[in-house]
Amino acid sequence: MRFFVDTADVAAIAELNDLGMVDGVTTNPSLILKSGRNILEVTKEICSIVSGPVSAEVVALKAEDMIAEGRKLAEIAENIAVKVPLTWDGLKTCKVLSDDGLMVNVTLCFSANQALLAAKAGATFISPFIGRLDDINLDGLELISDIRQIYDNYGFDTQILAASIRTANHVTQCALIGADVMTAPPSVIKALATHVLTEKGLDQFTKDWAQTGQKII
């Protein structure tokens, strides 16, 4: 499974990238707002740090405008994946941009039928939102499983990019189901290293070592 980091925080991206934990980046208008920076400038800087796909989202609602915005965003760097919403206009945009040879990430997916349409429109990535489905008492992980089966049944090349990841369990289950990619905030990725027994064991080792009175260096 590839790890994308869901942020526009350049420092956080660089830190995880140095550890080999970043295969790509996803951004959205909310994350750009949080960064407080110009979308073109911050996206260009992110693309200079990360060699993998960097999703930059259009904000228009009509296909004609989305296409224009998508082509503008794609000029930033070769590793831009234009992010479009899963609406009819978004699907039209996906078809045009994918035919142009651009990577397209179709986002805000909440059903298997939507994912099927995105694949037929030539999406590079489909982004089902796990956490937001869980928020309304639906099973986000079941959606990942359904999409995986449909794509495998018909040999679609569209990659499943599990999004709205909230917990370490989400990551584990997505990996078991066979999602191609997951995107999560830096805090969630770092939390994957945490386990109460690791902390307990390290604490005991530290106390025992202190009693030896020894030093390695």
**119-171 per-position pLDDT tens digit:** 999 999 999 999 999 999 999 999 999 999 999 999 999 999 999 999 999 99
Q: Is residue 69 included in any domain, yes or no?
A: yes
Q: Is residue 217 included in any domain, yes or no?
A: no
**Which parts of the chain sit beneath pLDDT 70?**
none
Q: Give the residue numbers annotated as catalytic, written as ranges.
A: 83
28 half-sphere exposure, CB direction, 13 A CA radius: 15
Assign residue 67 the CATH number of its domain: 3.20.20.70
Q: Is residue 180 included in any domain, yes or no?
A: yes
pLDDT value for 183: 98
Residue type, 97: L
Q: Is residue 113 included in any domain, yes or no?
A: yes
Question: Is residue 2 packed enough to be buried (19+ CB in 10 Å), middle (13-18) or exposed (0-12)?
Answer: middle
pLDDT value for 48: 96
Q: Which domain holds residue 96?
A: 2-212
- Element of type H or E holding 126: strand 125-128
- Does pTM top 0.75 for this prediction? yes
Question: Is residue 109 packed enough to be buried (19+ CB in 10 Å), middle (13-18) or exposed (0-12)?
Answer: buried
